[in-house]
A and B are shown apart, each in its own frame.
Chain A
Amino acid sequence: MIRLNVNGHDHDVDAEPDTPLLYVLRDDLALNGAKFGCGLGQCGACTVMVDGRAVFSCLTPIALLPGRNVRTIEGLGMNAVQQAFVEEQAAQCGYCIAGMVMRAQALLEHNPNPSEQEIRDQMAVNLCRCGTHMRILAAVRRAAGRGVKS
């Protein structure tokens, strides 16, 4: 058993310690937000926050996580970032979008007023194939204008 704190709640998880966080979130905790995209840290579809930083959950074994705070899109409620994504209609198929929101959330918590270049550079880690980039950038700018609570 490994104890994980996810979205403010402790969970005792029966999984092998090398299991990447992604599979525990999805299979053991039935959380849908983080997605399998590549398993290689190349696309960001699995992005969640650990202790306030954006990480690839597909590459983070749960053995590293006891005592840390894991945050997923399910833990945001419908906050300013998600609201901004709705208002900009910043999704097509939406498979990448939970990862985008978590990357944006981590960015805005550390840098509440990022420049356009800073937004693009931070979001560069996450891939979108539908071509929703302009909407996603607009959503991050919109959320930044409102302030994001950590």
Chain B
Amino acid sequence: MTAVLSRRTLLAAGGGLVVAFSLHAQEPKRPGSLKETPSLDAWIRVAPDGRVTVFTGKAELGQGLTTALLQIAAEQLDVAPNRIELITADTMRTPNEGFTAGSHSMQDSGTAILNAAAQVRGLLCDAAAAEFGVAADTLTTADGLVHAADGRAIGYGELAAKLNLHVDATANSPLKDPAAYRLMGTPMQRIDIPAKLTGGASYVQDLRLPGMLHARVVRQPSYGATLLDFDTGPIEHMPGVVKVVRDGSYLAVVATKEWQAIKAMRALAAAAKWQETASLPDEATILDTLQALPVKDIPVLTWQAQAGAPVKRLKARYSRPYLMHGAIGPSCSVAQFVDGTMTVWTHTQGVFPLRAALASLLRLPPDKVHCIHTQGSGCYGHNGADDVAGDAVLIARAVPGHPIRVQWMREDEHTNEPYGSAMIAEVEGAIDADGRIVDWDYAVWSNTHNRRPNIGGLMLQNAALSDKLPVPPPAPIPMPEGGGDRNSNPIYALPNARVVYHFIPQMPVRISALRSLGAYLNVFAIESFMDELAEAARADPVEFRLRHLQDERAKAVISLAAEKFGWSAGKRGDGRGFAFARYKNLAAYCAIALTLGVDHETGQIRLGRVVAAVDSGQPVNPDGIRLQIEGAIIQSASWTLYEQVHFDRKRITSFDWSRYPILRFPAAPDSIDVYIVPRPGLPFLGTGEAGQGPTSAAIANALKDAAGVRLRQIPLSAPAVKTAIGV
């Protein structure tokens, strides 16, 4: 056996750190997810007829990942994209790549497929060289064929039939010269869009399996509510009702047709009696309440160096409320229990962790649960996707044989999804006589940003079921990626800085991962404060950022955004704002300049022109990158201007779009232009969460420029703006 045991295997087997570290030096460092799944045929298979199948453990969340992965595979294999089948996250078919989250997919899976495809193409060329009796470096590949200089050609299928691809990838790959790329770096239309525009079956919501029944859950009206009594009388004679499922405070109904299930659920809900407790804090003082809770202090960084004498010192406090993912399509799942095995079609971000969670919820061994990713509505983090799969499996177990389709109602999604944590950041900074930052003190308070289920105790249903599983305590996500402290480490070169994360374990409302995690508030705070310091230094905000940066790629992105926007130093007062961040200080760089206007009667902010510049490393689908940044800008504008989860002492009261308004078309900016700094051959940098932070601060900075007021508490709502301006 030549395979090298991975560190993960050894650690999982209890091999211990000493063994793992002693092996580490010999272990080849394979790129991307090849580290965890090295076998080439786990990623790429070539059938004898030449058909190519590519596997990824990541899922299409509506961000165009599958198209980009096909571009990568097609480029490195020299096979047309439409001749490649791509299989996404499936616990029985694909590599385990954990969660599709954190803007990691291109770095993890894209890099794995890039290298695996190049290595497979290399092995095919080696096989052809042996076949033709020529040197491999005299061969060329095109459209699934290997060509010899003398005109002979042989298909990939014929070569692959004699080739063993069940071999581990090597650390280095015969990658193409980026200058020769024809697909990577060129816009490609998304492969999934035509079906979505013609009524094709695109989503788990569209699954229709033989014998399928529909179910709805009578949800607990508030966290921890106890079901005291319910009456099946009203639904006993309703057409189509098949079964009522009850376990503790968990109550669901199954019917033949979807509308029948909804009517039965409503009748059951109307007759159900609950005991509720006033477990929620006062919304009006939630930030102070959170800040007063016990914390675990996590030092993020301490920098100490000689610096000039401080001449001005500023202090500010920034915050965000609880924010909702707010998928347009409520979460949905289909499950079927046959012969002791549960098959689950789910739009989860992590089929493997969900498999473990569902298995533990059902008290089944994990190999008796099969999770198949099927697209859903965009999720933007950990929303109801996993929990609705919990509903589907619990109900499917009670009605064996029948596929059970559960889709949440709007109020189920709005009031049960785990929200993004409310957060507070306090920052103090000082500048010297030359307008340089000489001191920086930053503290951030937050709940966790990860309660993604990998055990049953983290599923929503656990709180309702009679036999409860243990619930693990919340844990912070360590830096360098971080959770509440994500992007709390400034990218600016500061001589003296202290950053601390006050992690709050106690969670008054249900919390988990919302797109960009803590980066949204930390970038809002840092980039707002940079403008405050620039003003104190009488410096132009763009120039002030550049003077504190050493990272050349950061400077290039800022300069490009400023140039395309037409930013000119000293020109102020027309409602312009600028902000910049590198997501996690590890992923894509993004700078945003924008204009806005303020209606002084209402306090309403109206976005004008938005210009963004982004460096995502080697671009794969430039149009996809642009669309991700456009989406980030608009979603962040919605968070920043309008959004806040409301609650009373018992219940979440933001139960629909009227109680949780989001941005609508009339409020979309006049224009958004996104410019890409291409970096041929450099590693992919995740882009999906790069724009949210900078957008929020660019809006706050532009508001200051337009109306002279500095708002530090998100949302920058019309009433808040009006109050700040005064009448």
- B196 lies within 8 A of A38 (CB): no
Q: Does A30 contact B (CB under 8 A)?
A: yes
Q: Which residues of B contact A47 (CB under 8 A)?
A: none
Most chain A CB within a 10 A radius of its CB, from B259, B669, B671: B259
What's the minimum C-beta distance from A45 to chain B, rounded to whole angstroms? 6
Closest Cβ–Cβ distance, residue A141 to chain B (whole Å): 12
Give residues of chain B (205-232) contacting chain A, Cβ–Cβ below 8 Å: 205-206, 208, 214
* Chain B residues whose C-beta falls within 8 Å of the C-beta of A120 in the assembled complex: 665-666, 668
- In the complex with contacts A85-B197, A96-B328, A98-B197, A23-B257 CB distance below 8 A: yes
Which of A23, A33, A43, A124 is the one whose CB lies under 8 Å from B665? A124
Is there contact, CB below 8 Å, between B193 and A89? Answer: yes
Q: Which A residues lie within 8 Å of B328 (CB)?
A: 35, 37, 43, 45, 93, 95-96, 127-129
Determine if A95 and B666 form an interchain contact, defined as CB atoms under 8 angstroms apart. Answer: no
* B54 shortest CB reach to chain A, Å: 22
Q: Are B631 and A130 in contact (CB under 8 A)?
A: yes
Residues of A contacting B627 in the complex (Cβ-Cβ under 8 angstroms): 89, 92, 132, 135
When the two chains form their complex, are residues B633 and A131 in contact, meaning their CB atoms are under 8 A apart?
yes
B492 to chain A, nearest CB (A): 28
Task: Indicate if A19 sits at the interface (CB-CB under 8 A).
Answer: yes
Q: Which residue of B lies closest to A96 (CB)?
A: B328
B341 within 8 A of A: no
A72 to B198, CA, bound (A): 9
On whether the beta carbons of A134 and B669 are closer than 8 Å, the reply is: yes
Q: B669: which A residues are within 8 A, CB to CB?
A: 134
- Find chain A residues with CB under 8 A from B378 CB: 92-93, 95, 129-130
Contact of B668 among A35, A76, A133 (CB under 8 A): A133
Q: Does A12 interact with chain B (Cβ within 8 Å)?
A: no
Say yes or no: A129 contacts B327, CB within 8 Å. Answer: yes
Partner of B257, one of A27, A43, A45: A27
Interface residue B630 (Cβ < 8 Å from any Cβ of A): yes
> Which of the residues A15, A76, A92, A135 comes within 8 Å of B62, measured between beta carbons?
A92
A132 touches B630 (CB 8 A): yes
Interface size on A, residues (CB 8 A): 56
Whether A127 touches B194, Cβ cut-off 8 Å, given contacts A16-B239, A37-B410, A93-B375, is no
Within 8 A of B (CB), among A75-111: 76, 78, 82, 85-86, 89, 91-98, 101
| CB of A46, distance to nearest CB on chain B (Å) | 11
Q: Are A133 and B665 in contact (CB under 8 A)?
A: yes
**B21 CB–A CB distance under 8 Å:** no
What 0/1 readout, one digit per residue, does chain A (28-47) give for beta carbons within 8 Å of chain B? Answer: 00111101111110110100
A23 touches B259 (CB 8 A): yes
- Contact residues in B for A98 (Cβ distance below 8 Å): 196-197, 199
Most interface-central of B193, B194, B375 (chain A CB within 10 A): B193
Bound-state CA distance A96–B61 (Å) is 14
Contact A92 B192 (CB under 8 A): no
Point out the residue from B196, B258, B376 that lies within 8 Å of A97, measured CB to CB: B196
Assembled-state Cα–Cα distance A12/B215 (Å): 25
For residue A74, CB closer than 8 A to chain B, the reply is yes
B520 smallest CB distance to A (angstroms): 14
Contact call B666/A74, Cβ cutoff below 8 A: no
Q: Does B371 contact A (CB under 8 A)?
A: no
Tell whether A97 pairs with B671 under 8 Å between CB atoms, given A37-B328, A39-B410, A120-B666.
no
**Across the interface, do A131 and B665 meet the contact criterion of CB distance under 8 Å?**
no
From residue B61, how far is it (CB to closest CB) to chain A in Å? 7
Say whether B632 faces chain A, with CB atoms less than 8 Å apart: yes
Flag B179-200 by CB within 8 Å of A: 1 or 0 each.
0000000000110111011111
Q: Which of B189, B330, B380, B634 is in CB contact (< 8 Å) with A36?
A: B330
Q: Is the CB of A93 within 8 A of B197?
A: no
In whole Å, how far is B676's beta carbon from the nearest beta carbon of chain A? 15
Q: How far is the CB of A44 from chain B (nearest CB, A)?
A: 9
Closest 3 CB pairs of A and B: A93-B62, A131-B634, A93-B378
Can you name 6 extra interface pairs (CB under 8 A) apart from A95-B376, A137-B668?
A23-B259, A32-B201, A36-B330, A73-B199, A98-B197, A133-B668
Question: Can you report 16 residue pairs joining A to B where beta carbons are below 8 Å apart?
Answer: A16-B260, A43-B657, A73-B199, A91-B62, A91-B196, A92-B64, A93-B377, A94-B197, A121-B666, A124-B665, A127-B328, A127-B657, A134-B669, A134-B671, A135-B627, A135-B630
Residue positions of A touching B, CB distance < 8 A:
15-16, 19-20, 23, 26-27, 30-33, 35-40, 42-43, 45, 72-74, 76, 78, 82, 85-86, 89, 91-98, 101, 117, 119-121, 123-124, 126-137
